[in-house]
Amino acid sequence: MIRLLVVVVVLAALVLGLTALGHQGIGPVGVSLRLPLLEEIRTFDRRWLHLASQPKEIQTTDRERIVVDNYVIWRIADPLQFYKSFPTGIAEAKTQIGQQVRAKVREVIGQHTLVQVLRDERAEIMEEIGDKSREALERFGIDINDVRINRTELPRGAEENVYARMRAERERQARKNRAEGEEQARRIRAEADRGARVIVAEARGQAEIERGKGDAQAVRIYAEAYSTDAEFYVFLRGLEAYRKTIGEGTTMVLPPDHEFFRLLSLGSEGGSPGSSESPDSSE
């Protein structure tokens, strides 16, 4: 009996020691200390573990095929549930983790475009894969800390085709942008021309109004001048006619008594404008 107690104490100390070293233990220990009831003790590492996957091709939502590999940081969160899920050991668990995470990687990447996976939404995609993997493996007693994609590249021989399609897409977008820009430029020019025509029309209308006012004022001034001294007004009008008609090198063939020369003849006779008598006629 003493030897049995010693064996049990040694085994208990061994289990506690493994736990202290980072292991978790489970075992069907009975209500008595009889050795036949102590059938088996299983220990599980409670530290975070690393699991890497092999590269595999995945198709994005824009039908581009890329080669992706990933790794998982995981640990055993519930030893009893883990043992029930994987009675054959850790290798079976790694297979299940790899399958579940690979399925989530394929699912999430398949919902995004190549540009989003490579650049625009890479961090968000990683986070979504981690959340989905954590939810899928929780029922196995497994906790997922992180899922990361190591490599994302195009399959061999596909680079040129992808780059050609990307160039074609960029050229198509450039043509579209140029066409939209030209259309916008035409619209802006048309609006500017229409606005200019409106402004010019308004300016011409205002000019006609001002010109009419000026003509009316000129007529009024002429009328006032004519009513004040009609003969002097006729004299000025005659001089203006001479100025406009007779220029340098002008040759005119008119009879001497033509009305056109009346003012000249009056000036040569010494008379005043509008007067038909000479200065000596009063004597």
- pLDDT level of residue 266 (50, 70, 90 thresholds): low
User: For the purposes of burial, counting CB atoms within 10 Å of the CB of 158, is it exposed (0-12), middle (13-18) or buried (19 or more)?
Assistant: middle
Closest listed residue to residue 66, CA positions, set 164, 124, 152, 167 = 152
Q: How high is the pLDDT of residue 263?
A: 61
Average per-residue pLDDT for the chain: 77
User: For the purposes of burial, counting CB atoms within 10 Å of the CB of 66, is it exposed (0-12), middle (13-18) or buried (19 or more)?
Assistant: buried
Residue 191 is encoded by which pair of tokens?
């609006």
- Between strands 142-153 and 65-76, the pairing is antiparallel
Model pLDDT for residues 96-141, shown as the tens digit of each residue: 999 999 999 999 999 998 888 888 888 899 999 999 999 999 999 9
Higher local confidence (pLDDT), 56 or 16: 56
What are 28-36's contacts with CB under 8 Å, separation 24+? Answer: 33/4, 33/5, 33/8, 34/4, 35/4, 35/7, 35/8
- Determine the CATH number of domain 48-155: 3.30.479.30
Q: What percent of the chain has pLDDT over 70?
A: 71
What contacts 270, CB < 8 A, 6 or more positions away? Answer: 278, 279
Model pLDDT for residues 136-165, shown as the tens digit of each residue: 999 999 999 999 988 777 776 666 666 777
For residue 131, count other CB atoms closer than 10 A to its CB. Answer: 14
First to last CA, the chain: 184
**Mean pLDDT within 167-196:** 90
Q: How high is the pLDDT of residue 40?
A: 62
The count of C-alpha atoms lying within 13 angstroms of the C-alpha of 280, restricted to the half-sphere facing its C-beta, is: 1
Q: What percent of the chain has pLDDT over 90?
A: 31
Model pLDDT for residues 30-44, shown as the tens digit of each residue: 433 344 444 567 778
| Cα separation, 216 vs 260, whole angstroms | 29
Q: At 28, phi and psi to the nearest 5?
A: -80, 70
Where would I find the H helices in 229-249? Answer: 230-245
